[in-house]
Amino acid sequence: MEELLSDVRRPSSVTVKNKAPAKVQITAEQLLREAWERKESGPSAVPKQQITDKEELQEYQRTERKQFEMRIVRNRSHTPLWIRYARWEESQEEFTRARSVLERAIDNEYRNPAIWLGYAEMEMRHRFINHARNVLDRAVALLPRVDQLWLKYAHFEELLDQVELSRLVYSRWLKWMPGPSAFFAFIRFELRHGAYGRARSVYEELVRAHQTSHSYTKYAKFEERQGEMGRARGVYERSCQDLPTGQQTAGLFLSFARFEERRKQTERARAIYKYAIEKLGNEGVEVERLERAFISFEKQQGERDMVEEVVVRKKRKELQKRVKENGHDYDSWFDLLLLEEGHSGIERTRDTYEQAVTNKPPAQAKSGWGRYMYLWIAYAIWAEMSEGTPEAGVEIYKRAVRAVGKRKEGGWEWVGGRIWVLYAQGRVRMEDVPGARKALGTGLGVGVGAREEVEIYRAYVELERGLGEFGRARKVYEGWVEREVERGGTEGFEEFAEFEKEMGELARAAGVLGVAVEAGVGGEEMWARYVAAEREIKGLDEMREIYERYAKECSGARAWVEYGTVAGRDVWERGARELRGRAVEHGGKWAEELRTMVEAWVLWERSESGDVAKAQSWLPKRVRRKRPRISADGTHIGWEDYWVTIVEQEEDVAETGLLLLKAARRWKEKQATVAG
């Protein structure tokens, strides 16, 4: 054995004779570039399958069903998987199989309302009326405490003009003693069909099942709207008798008292106020609210005593003196107007308003015009409330838009956007929608400021969306973003994209943000929004070009971090190299950007179990330094520490490494000499 071992040649240590550097030097950058150029292409996309005959269709269906069944075996409790399976069967027009899938889902988890709703909606979409009715009937029988199922069932029957069946569903629902929202849904149903007597019966059931101040108040207001004043008063009186003291609120008594005020029953209203204040005690926010209302009531309905008349007369005289000395003291005008509204008649209050609005600001200072504009707004609101018609307020707004802006050759001197918005809202209350659109369009065309223009655009969009005119709303948004491009704003793009997203148009939302970044609006934040929108509808291969543009345009750590997170290590290294170059050349914020990006890279490598050491090698140094502290008067009061991020060039790092090796070699030779 020893002879055999002696015959085995032992490998001798390799001795490098020539330690000089090679003539052709290969850099790390060149190695990375060659690796990138020679890398193998990724997996090709799955080709689209063209189904040409029945056998191929059957094979495709078998494959898809097998995949769905395997997923369900792995995770039976995942409800969306069952629903996707059923929808796929529905797309293949295999309704029997779709029902089978949903029935299996119900057997697996029948307490999940989403399965029942999806099942019923599938039957409704394909006009299987009896099937849908059976599904909903089973659902409410098994889950009677889920309000959404009852609402869906009742609404389904109502859409089919089966009023009696829908009423029967609501009646079955109320037997389970649901919350007040169920009763109100039933009441709205009865009112839609003109069954006011039945609605009254439902209200009776409501106040028996839910004896609260809110229930009685809603019931009484219903009777008042129907013109049944005696019944309304009876409901209020029942509430005071039936409700325990702890459930009688200030809102209930206040509603009762105001009802009597509207009926001109001053003494009854006064008695209610006194009873409520005594009933609820002497302290608390609710009592203060009642007392303020009672004082206001007495000022309007009761006899003024001499003390109050003296106080009011003195205050009026003082305010009139102020506005006479300075007609542009709008705070004093507001105080005087509030005083007149509370203690004077309509004619005197109108005269005071007319005097106030004749005092235009002398200069073009926006603060003065803003206060003056709100005088007109207060005037319009008061006129509409005092006369009880929106036409009165609209007439004031028409005068206001002529007063707060003076037409010149170059446009208008100053126009408040708020005036145009309120003017349009008044038109809407008059049911004059074209007039409202015209008002908002005029407001945009007269050259308002940027902030006022945004307010008008936003009101215009809300108007069209409230009317369900989504096409018009989109046109308004398009005009808005054109103005945003001109002045570099971002609000129009952000709200337009959010609108498209709410409408389910993700591609349109991404397109809107794409226009913004092409126009150079919004900077890095807009780019981030754009990338996030595109990521929702595109894959990595399509996103790579967008990420490249993102990194090129923004150049900061944020762009490279987002790109590297989805694209991998090569992008991280490219980003680190680019930011290092900028940091070496410019320093300052670029050094911090490099550190932020590398720290994110390290975290990514750890999460991917990758080469953490390589990522950390790019991390710049942080050095603590001192600087003098200077007081406000310029004296030196000490020193303070601060941290600085330092980025060295690659050549400096390499040179530093060689110097360390040389120092180590000298130390080793010195140790050998001492030992010898």
Q: pLDDT tens digit string along 618-627? A: 777 666 767 7
Lookup: tokens for 226:
């129907």
Give residue 410's pLDDT: 41
Q: Looking at the DSSP assignment, which residues form a beta bridge with residue 644?
A: 623
Give residue 650's pLDDT: 47
Q: Give burial (CB, 10 Å; 0-12/13-18/19+) of 607.
A: exposed
Is residue 307's pLDDT more than 70?
no
Work out the pLDDT band at 676, boundaries 50, 70, 90.
Answer: low
Give residue 364's pLDDT: 59
Is residue 309's pLDDT more than 70?
no
Overall average pLDDT of the 162-168 stretch = 92
Work out the pLDDT band at 314, boundaries 50, 70, 90.
Answer: low
Range with the lowest mean pLDDT among 390-404, 461-475, 538-552? 538-552
Q: Which of 401, 413, 407 is closest to 441 using CA atoms?
A: 401
Contact indicator for 531, 562 with CB cutoff of 8 Å: yes
Contact indicator for 132, 120 with CB cutoff of 8 Å: yes
Q: How far apart are the first and last CA of the chain?
A: 41
Give residue 46's pLDDT: 58
CA angle 270, 275, 281 (to 5 degrees): 130
Domain range annotation of the chain: 625-675
Continuous H helices in 358-447 = 366-387, 390-403, 417-429, 433-445
Q: Looking at the DSSP assignment, which residues form a beta bridge with residue 622?
A: 645
Dihedral angle computed from the Cα positions of residues 108, 113, 119 and 122, in that order, rounded to the nearest 10 degrees: -150
> The whole model's pTM is what?
0.47
Q: Percentages helix, strand, coil for the chain, rounded to the nearest 5?
A: 75, 5, 25
Share of the chain above pLDDT 90, in %: 14
Give residue 262's pLDDT: 87
Q: How many Cβ atoms from other residues are within 10 Å of residue 495's Cβ?
A: 18
Q: Which pLDDT tens digit goes with each residue over 559-593?
A: 777 777 777 777 777 777 777 776 666 666 677 77
| Mean pLDDT score across all residues of the chain | 79
CA distances from 360 to 321, 405, 411 (A): 18, 11, 19
Q: How many Cβ atoms from other residues are within 10 Å of residue 602's Cβ?
A: 19
Work out the pLDDT band at 657, boundaries 50, 70, 90.
Answer: very low
Q: Give burial (CB, 10 Å; 0-12/13-18/19+) of 575.
A: buried
Work out the pLDDT band at 641, boundaries 50, 70, 90.
Answer: low
Range with the lowest mean pLDDT among 54-63, 163-172, 459-468, 516-525? 516-525
Overall average pLDDT of the 514-523 stretch = 77
Q: Which amino acid is at 675?
A: A
Contact indicator for 574, 583 with CB cutoff of 8 Å: no
Q: On the CB side of 458, how many CA atoms lie within 13 Å of its CA?
A: 15
Give residue 584's pLDDT: 66
Q: Which residue has the tokens 């959010």?
A: 498
Give residue 271's pLDDT: 84
Between residues 596 and 551, which one has the greater pLDDT? 596
Give residue 144's pLDDT: 92
Is residue 412's pLDDT more than 60?
no
Return all residues near 559 (Cβ < 8 A) that are at least 6 apart: 524, 527, 547, 550, 551, 553, 575
Give residue 528's pLDDT: 76
Contact indicator for 647, 623 with CB cutoff of 8 Å: no
Q: How many Cβ atoms from other residues are within 10 Å of residue 475's Cβ?
A: 14
Overall average pLDDT of the 506-533 stretch = 78
Work out the pLDDT band at 408, boundaries 50, 70, 90.
Answer: very low
Overall average pLDDT of the 306-313 stretch = 50
Work out the pLDDT band at 416, boundaries 50, 70, 90.
Answer: low
> Residue 152, SS3?
helix
CA atoms of 126 and 205, how far apart (whole Å): 37
Give residue 283's pLDDT: 53
C-alpha 592, offset from chain centre: 32
Range with the lowest mean pLDDT among 9-18, 26-35, 86-95, 540-549? 9-18
Give residue 45's pLDDT: 60
Contact indicator for 126, 106 with CB cutoff of 8 Å: no
Range with the lowest mean pLDDT among 41-45, 455-459, 584-588? 41-45
Return all residues near 242 (Cβ < 8 A) that are at least 6 apart: 207, 211
Exposed e or buried b per residue across 34-54, where buried means at least 16 C-beta atoms within 10 angstroms of its C-beta: eeeeeeeeeeeeeeeeeeeee
Is residue 169's pLDDT more than 90?
yes
Between residues 491 and 140, which one has the greater pLDDT? 140
